[in-house]
Structure 1
């Protein structure tokens, strides 16, 4: 066999970074090998958990990438930097509020406080040196598609100087989060109040609560955490509750402070922490039946929570007001550590109903009474409409803020039709309340990386989900949601704070279901526009392997077939170690609902 072609190939130089765009770029790439990774510039909005994970993934998996992350706060970690109210914690068990590959051995308790969670994500950023991508104190104020450069013009405001910073990117990532844009309640006269006015997401630690009569508006997750923390310290608390909600830890996931021995075992016993984390994750993933009407797990959880709430409240008047008639899970569940017990303390008054207005002295409620207070705390949540925090302008001039104002319609929770090269973490109808949320964020990051890789290696100029693909996804979602407890008549941020509205914040399935749904790209669902000839990525006829003198040029020659499984079923069974777990009970559906669920 002649060795001339091999020797000539080994002399071929590797290709450097290319920054050209458009048809000229397509022409020039004919001089490079197949799948040559062209340079890609990415702007990411937000350095919370999602933004930090995205930076880690890009750093680990890509070459020839320029990444800039604009973060409005002075520190990273997003909501866990911003929220410092008394009792602030996560309602997900702490050992499973971590990245799957990055455990933390020394959590203090099952439900850790916001300070510990901030330390986790901040330490993650330092460990992997992610700060080099991040511009803190910079808030993105606009992003507009520029056809000439096939990307976005991004404007950010330097919050320290007030100056504007102008940037461009090929791909725009929105990692600003859903529980990030806090808002005051829409109550008449709110700012007429003469005393200290606080919001849980914008806490002023200089305000003294000790010895004061405090008013607390809201019984969502924040309000439920605040009350038991301030109750022992203040003179009196009047808590204003508009609607009932389910409050109780899921059985087996009650609050627990880890002993020194337990923490030592997590460090020193091989596999102990992994086994513990997998046990909790398995339990969280096994709860999805709770959100389907008339399932065994839903009915059993309802009975358990009713019993727990009655036992902890032990007051017939409050029981009649605070235990909901709608299904368990219609609103986000919260462990509510010591919340129900606090409602019956001598220095706590519960006012049930609507607040008609707020005066200089306090709150006037629909019972006709005015309740004077010294300090007013609003635990009233966030703007959960999914609209971007900044104008985002498409090639056709549409603003995504307007497009998603009434009903946000996404593709699989990560993209919007007609908005090319734009991807969003925790977008509409992603599994933010279906099960373990960080696992879902990891899969979103992986899916984005696959799209970016496809853009980088296939000469793509623009990609966005087809409108008909989004419409079909929304139709499927709406049909599925009719069978869930989320469709019950409760006021929930899952439905943009409304009682009867489309469910816009949840995925039509479990977290594991979402993980499998996003396992592979579905480019058939995307409108794709190429720079010139769609096959120019084939290049000059050489593979990249031939240009790598350190690579095995006969890597496919082997002694037995150890290749990846070519069917989805085989890959899934291999990945999930199917057959290694014995004796797990299956979810059982009761009555006619079993037939309906099988049809879904």
Structure 2
């Protein structure tokens, strides 16, 4: 539940100009990092950020369900320019309140006050004639719209922003229904019959928390997961003391944990990771038998190639299955909810007062509901559909000058920190736009069209050919794919980066100027 310490009152920045040098959409971890680094690295301050909610944090602001926590160690799931040495958290597996507390402290430290809250962008279009982006901005509460222009347009809205709608009819259900990312704090679960739909990371965190108070909990899982024992983290008081008082120790610990996580990437390779997957299966089987009740042993075993789905670190889920109040309906799905019952595909009828949807997000409805148009009036979404989600390093898109997409297609990672990934993208972006921002700052009358940079068609095509080729060496697309990483219509993995994070850092840190074309410089 949301603690009192999390209730932060944010004040919106004054938005009284028609034009800004840079506009950022989203104040989650990526948007916050880009905002800070523009000023910190380039000294550029003509920046405005629009955030649809009333606080920073993005997915961590939205996901306030019981048990919400990060499955990446906090030393790595933090900004390189703001190590969490001053944050005494109970564990490296930081909880949602602890992460939000950290993000608020970063906002204060870097005096980030240029965010307009409760505001979203509904449409953005680029003009070849002016070299500027035009954005349609809308106040979420009042519905009042306004228009703004900018030179550099940064999208940091994230992929885990729009929950999947219920995959079954709930119109005739008498109880409460809500998604894990839209937790209804007004609904009490005490002594209630609760149905949890789904068994991904969110469900694995929610179930152990809910079972403490509910009358009964039935979990309905359509498919299986690879849930593994959560590794022990360096959480001792000595480690905290060293991080806080020994200069450089926090960075050393961060590097050590980063490379340990990198070693997990090998398991995704079809050939090179075969032995690792086999060993992981053996460890999982032992962990299931050591922790979960025997009646669920067969149900909990993966029926897919391990690593084809994101692994789930167990924070108490298997142990909670021993509670007599829990019933797991594996390999089943909900087809209807009516009155006080949930009906499954296998014909099971479950009494329910509350339905909790752990059904994921609309990750392939890119940037929904925002529409982005290039200079020819073609939407980004149509370009992605036509070109099989082709981008350049998930950051730049051909024919979309001065547009930068943080955590775009094929940038996510199943083994490491997305904060590291977005920082790498920001590094590449800053190098590309530095000459443009310098000119904006120094020249009173800019040429028309205004200066711009965009990836060449050749560079994008070459990069995506490499992505598709390397993807064949990974387990994610095997047999058509079994997870949300893969677009089920095309069978293509459009979510993950097919190389290591070291590789991503290297390529993003030194972009080739020949891969881009500049105008008006």
Range of TM-score over shorter length: 0.7 to 0.9
1:379 paired residue among 350, 358, 363:
358
Equivalent runs, 1:212-291 vs 2, <5 Å? 212-249=192-229, 253-254=231-232, 258-291=235-268
Query: What is the CA-CA distance between 1:373 and the residue it aligns to?
Result: 0.7
1:425 is matched with: 406
2:30 paired residue among 41, 50, 56:
50
- Compare 361-370 and 259-268 and name the one that shifted more: 259-268
- Compare 296-305 and 200-209 and name the one that shifted more: 296-305
Q: Does 1:486 align with 2:471?
A: no
Query: What is the CA-CA distance between 1:64 and the residue it aligns to?
Result: 5.3
Conserved 8 A contact 1:428-1:505:
yes
Structure 2's unaligned 5+ residue stretches are 1-18, 440-446
Q: Does 1:108 align with 2:90?
A: yes
2:47 is matched with: 67
Structure 2 Cα separation of the partners of residues 255 and 278 of structure 1:
14
2:486 is matched with: 495
Conserved 8 A contact 1:71-1:139:
yes
Query: What is the CA-CA distance between 1:270 and the residue it aligns to?
Result: 4.5
Alpha-carbon displacement from aligned partner over 1:30-88 (angstroms, at most 9, x marks no partner):
xxxxxxxxx97111100110111101111112245511110111111111111111111
Q: Does 1:120 align with 2:102?
A: yes
Secondary structure at the aligned position of 1:129 is classed as: coil
1:327 paired residue among 305, 326, 330:
305
Structure 2 Cα separation of the partners of residues 360 and 231 of structure 1:
23
Q: Does 1:439 align with 2:420?
A: yes
Conserved 8 A contact 1:492-1:499:
no
2:182 paired residue among 202, 218, 235:
202
Q: Structure 1 40/209 Cα, relative in aligned 2: closer, same or farther at 3 Å?
A: closer
Query: What is the CA-CA distance between 1:479 and the residue it aligns to?
Result: 1.6
- Compare 323-332 and 390-399 and name the one that shifted more: 323-332
1:347 paired residue among 321, 325, 338:
325
Alpha-carbon displacement from aligned partner over 1:176-197 (angstroms, at most 9, x marks no partner):
111111222322x123211011
Conserved 8 A contact 1:437-1:511:
no
Secondary structure at the aligned position of 1:215 is classed as: strand
Structure 2 Cα separation of the partners of residues 268 and 388 of structure 1:
42
Conserved 8 A contact 1:83-1:200:
yes
Query: What is the CA-CA distance between 1:474 and the residue it aligns to?
Result: 2.1
Conserved 8 A contact 1:431-1:511:
no
Secondary structure at the aligned position of 1:143 is classed as: strand
2:286 is matched with: 307
Conserved 8 A contact 1:431-1:514:
no
Conserved 8 A contact 1:426-1:432:
no
Q: Structure 1 302/454 Cα, relative in aligned 2: closer, same or farther at 3 Å?
A: farther
Structure 1's unaligned 5+ residue stretches are 1-38, 532-536, 538-600
Q: Does 1:357 align with 2:336?
A: yes
Q: Does 1:523 align with 2:501?
A: no
2:15 is matched with: none
1:186 paired residue among 164, 167, 182:
167
Higher normalized strand content (fraction of residues): 2
Conserved 8 A contact 1:153-1:169:
yes
Secondary structure at the aligned position of 1:357 is classed as: strand
Query: What is the CA-CA distance between 1:362 and the residue it aligns to?
Result: 2.5
Query: What is the CA-CA distance between 1:245 and the residue it aligns to?
Result: 0.6
Query: What is the CA-CA distance between 1:307 and the residue it aligns to?
Result: 2.1
Q: Structure 1 434/500 Cα, relative in aligned 2: closer, same or farther at 3 Å?
A: farther
Conserved 8 A contact 2:261-2:415:
no
- Compare 435-444 and 486-495 and name the one that shifted more: 486-495
1:171 is matched with: 152
1:401 is matched with: 381
Equivalent runs, 1:90-105 vs 2, <5 Å? 90-105=70-85
Query: What is the CA-CA distance between 1:396 and the residue it aligns to?
Result: 0.8
Conserved 8 A contact 2:159-2:366:
no
Query: What is the CA-CA distance between 1:129 and the residue it aligns to?
Result: 0.6
Conserved 8 A contact 2:24-2:50:
yes
Query: What is the CA-CA distance between 1:269 and the residue it aligns to?
Result: 4.1
Query: What is the CA-CA distance between 1:514 and the residue it aligns to?
Result: 0.6
1:129 is matched with: 111
Kindly report the root-mean-square deviation, in angstroms, between the aligned alpha carbons of the 2 structures: 2.2
2:442 is matched with: none
The two structures have a TM-score, normalised by structure 2, of 0.88
Conserved 8 A contact 1:491-1:499:
no
Alpha-carbon displacement from aligned partner over 1:360-407 (angstroms, at most 9, x marks no partner):
223211221221211110011111015123111111110113333574
Q: Which has the greater radius of gyration?
A: 1
Structure 2 Cα separation of the partners of residues 454 and 271 of structure 1:
33
Alpha-carbon displacement from aligned partner over 1:211-259 (angstroms, at most 9, x marks no partner):
1110000111111110011112111100001111100135xx2368x45
Secondary structure at the aligned position of 1:190 is classed as: strand
Conserved 8 A contact 1:391-1:401:
yes
Alpha-carbon displacement from aligned partner over 1:312-345 (angstroms, at most 9, x marks no partner):
2242x42222211322211111212111122232
Alpha-carbon displacement from aligned partner over 1:149-199 (angstroms, at most 9, x marks no partner):
211111111123321121100111000111111222322x12321101111
Q: Structure 1 167/377 Cα, relative in aligned 2: closer, same or farther at 3 Å?
A: same
1:19 is matched with: none
Query: What is the CA-CA distance between 1:351 and the residue it aligns to?
Result: 1.1
1:16 is matched with: none
